[in-house]
A and B are shown apart, each in its own frame.
Chain A
Amino acid sequence: MELALSPDQKLFQESARGLLEQEYSLDRVRGMEGSELRWSRDWWRKGAELGWAAAVVPEELGGGSVSGEGVRDLAVLAEELGAGVAPGPVLPVNVVLAGLVAAHGRGPDHGERIEALVAGETIATWAVYEPGREWTPADPRLTAAPADGGYVLDGVKDRVQDAGQADLLLVTAKTPDGVAQFLVPAAAAGVTISEQWTVDLSRSFGEVRFDGVRVDAGALVGAPGADEIIERQLQIALVVQCAEVCAVLDRAFAMTTRWAFDRYSFGRPLASYQALKHRFADMRTWLEACHATTQAAAAAVQAEAPDAAELASVAKSFVGERSLPILQDCVQIHGGIGVTWEHDLHLFLRRAVLDQALYGTPEDHRLRLADLASL
């Protein structure tokens, strides 16, 4: 959380909270199972009207942010999603938009697609992971072979968020000229999407196969070898993840603190036991640190500062790693009820497990930090 939100940011936050609470109570999230759709396009359009897909897009491309610092506004929105472990394509749509904006003017024009995405009429997602492989965005095995002035894509992507509801897939691929990204319609011939199990009840993921998928040169985003566009997308994903997890932790910590005051054992509240008080003190401190590093990352990514990559990795490595012991200690302090399906804690734990795993684990980001520091 930022220490102080502007009145416009508060309004943005409250409108997002309203739309989320109205649709997605924790009980509804708990009930999500199987292949039922996690969110509807109507609902997403309402979110888009509130600016959920506009923050990282400049006004001249049809976007705009309430504070003028879109990445920070996106972090405010992500916190609302985390607090409610909400469904919806906020992360993938904004990541794709960040890539399209970063590539704008450096390759084929995607202006109309940007507009449709901002308006919530089109859904896009990032197809970057490949089956059985860890986070290696710069080294895709999916190939894009030049043919007839366009390209032919062959390979498989997985862990693609909201693949089943996406209209457009932003696909990382290996070309003879380096890594490139293509914006591929999900309905293109040769694209097969299948559902994938996920730990997070309100999220959905899919595997996407590309069998001889033909795209024209206009599908390119930027030019081959444009690593900095992928880097920008990663940074946006990390800010969204970390902000979301900060709110998950806030909520679980608040629930557990309340529990400690309300629950009595041996005639006194749990909150009076020093053995527990000290654990709360640690958790409170780590929580503050999670917010501090997330906000620092959001500010650096917003400013496209020279240390944005470093600070985004610092945030992911810290928040991703620290979120799990905090949540497990919340479970421990709750006692047996904390590991039951009817309790809300597992909903938060699921989101934290998912977020620490994707877009580079804390360990991946530690290695990246050593690289970035040229050690």
Chain B
Amino acid sequence: MTDSTMESVESFRARARAWLAENMPPRDGSLPPLVEDDAHEWERARELQKILYAGGFAGICFPREYGGLGLTFAHQQAFTEESDPYEMPLLLNMPTFAICAPTLLDMGNEEQKRERIGAAIRGEEVLCQFLSEPSGGSDLAGLITRADRDGDGWVLNGAKTWSTSAYAADWGLCLARTDWDVPKHRGLTMFLVPTKAPGVTMNRIRMVNGVREFCEEFFDDVVLPASAVVGEVGGGWTVASSQLFHERNAMGGGSPYISGRGEARTMPRVNPLNVAAASGRSDDPRVREMLGEYLTLMRVHEQTAERVTRALETGVLPPAAASMLRLLHAEATQRGDDLALRIAGANAATGTGPSEGVGGRTAIGYLMRQGGSLGGGSTEMSRNMISERLLGMPREAAPDRDVPFKQVKRGR
């Protein structure tokens, strides 16, 4: 990746610093309101991305031939550090730049790479993923959305769900079954589907905390050209594995394709520390003990992530050990939700007048508590991974293994 003509990180950093000061608006530190129509935020993200592109600071680690700068992770990290005080198009990081674009880079054909990656870097297009289905969450490879050959092309039918910010996207990476006569992992193919294609119906899912970032989609005879296939026909699981890899890498902070720091427009979460401060209960020893427990869990989670990441890099632990971090993360965030509710005390029951206040936000956050052990794969799956792959315990019975998918029993 290095060549003699590449700009040094320090020179790039200095140039970025000057350019950012001239061109990017300062970051708005205030918390967004609880529920809102966020269409304007997506418009804003595209505008900001266009400014980055015009200034020559977009797609830092993507190859030049696909519209990027072809620089290194170190350049990206320098840019991210310099961009911290400014408003950045953070919404575009997940999943567009961190997952979808790198997967196209790994698996897509020349046209897909040039057109889709290029358009994303220019701020013209947003990408999303159509993976999970209503019929099953953890068993991704058991999906039943189908794509049938029709002449040179394909016809797509089925339903997807839990697609993050699909409503704001232009294209989705859609995993569908194209062969029912082979075992489940081998009969899948990945397609690039325009989200506005005829036959695509999309709804936003309202979560218990009021957030509507997930979508469900229905595909009714959606016609796709042969060029919509990403990777090989029947090789969809390989492409999905690439997506899952990039997702994990991004979660662990190792993605070179993420630009800017912080999360965008997620629900502003309360935690035990700010609940204690807001409720004026920081002097209560019962509360202080809970705060100490929360501080402990946050620290231990960090320390364990650092240790396991190092062990994975050096091969001291096998890849399945990453599931321990997923498990610990769920435990730490859920215990945080529990403690916040305890600390909020009676304030969790009612708002302050017509607004929910910190106590109300704590209660609402608590309603979403199980999200921590569901999103990104349930902790039950993590526990299977740890016991089977790390401890070598016998695997769960799987009647669908090595059986043609059409013979596999399904629920109704």
Residues on A lying within 8 angstroms of B by beta carbon are: 3-4, 257, 260-261, 268-269, 271-272, 274, 277-278, 280-282, 284-285, 288-289, 291-293, 295-296, 310-311, 313-314, 317-318, 363, 365-371, 373, 375
Instruction: Decide: B328 and A289 in contact? CB cutoff 8 A.
Output: yes
Contact with A along B317-330 (1 / 0, CB 8 A): 00001011001100
Cα A373 to Cα B288 in complex, Å, equals 11
Total chain B interface residues with beta-carbon distance under 8 A = 44
Q: Which residues of A contact B367 (CB under 8 A)?
A: none
Q: Quick check: B289 and A285 within 8 Å, CB to CB?
A: no
How far is A274 from B316 in the complex, measured between Cα atoms in Å? 26
B393 interface contact, C-beta 8 A:
yes
Question: CA separation between A225 and B363, bound complex, in Å?
Answer: 46
Residues B316 and A281 in contact, CB atoms below 8 Å apart: no
Q: Indicate if the CB atoms of B390 and A284 lie closer than 8 Å.
A: yes
Q: Is the CB of B299 within 8 A of A311?
A: yes
User: How far apart are the CA atoms of A25 and B69 in the complex, in Å?
Assistant: 64
Residues of chain A with a CB closer than 8 A to B306's CB: 292, 296
List chain B residues, Cβ under 8 A from A367.
Answer: 285, 288-289, 292
Q: Chain B residues near A4 (CB, 8 Å)?
A: 314, 316
From A269, A288, A291, name the one whose CB has the most chain B CB atoms within 10 angstroms: A288
> Which residues does chain B contribute within 8 Å of A288, judged by CB atoms?
304, 307-308, 321, 324
Q: Most chain-A CB neighbours within 10 Å: which of B289, B323, B393?
A: B393
| A369 engages B295 (CB within 8 Å) | yes
Q: Is the CB of A281 within 8 A of B327?
A: yes
| Interchain residue pairs A-B with the least CB separation, the first 10 | A366-B292, A277-B387, A281-B383, A281-B386, A369-B292, A292-B307, A370-B288, A272-B394, A292-B304, A278-B383
Question: Can you give 13 contacting A-B residue pairs, CB < 8 Å?
Answer: A3-B316, A281-B327, A281-B384, A281-B386, A285-B324, A289-B301, A289-B303, A293-B299, A293-B303, A314-B303, A366-B290, A371-B288, A375-B291
Does the CB pair B384–A274 fall under 8 Å?
yes
The reply to whether the CB of B300 lies closer than 8 angstroms to some CB of chain A is yes
Q: Which chain B residues lie closer than 8 Å to A277 at the CB level?
A: 383-384, 387-388, 391, 393
Interface: B176 (CB within 8 A): no
Task: Report the bound CA distance from A4 to B385 in whole Å.
Answer: 25
**Bound: A257/B387 CA distance, A:** 10
Closest to B307 in A: A292
Other 7 A-B pairs with CB < 8 A, given A3-B307, A277-B384, A288-B321: A278-B383, A282-B327, A284-B387, A285-B324, A366-B295, A366-B296, A369-B291
CB contacts (< 8 Å) of B316 on chain A: these are 3-4
Q: Which of B282, B301, B394 contacts A271 (CB 8 A)?
A: B394
Q: CA A278 – CA B393 in complex, angstroms?
A: 11
- Does residue B311 face the partner (Cβ distance < 8 Å to A)? yes
Q: Determine whether B396 belongs to the interface, using a CB cutoff of 8 Å to chain A.
A: yes
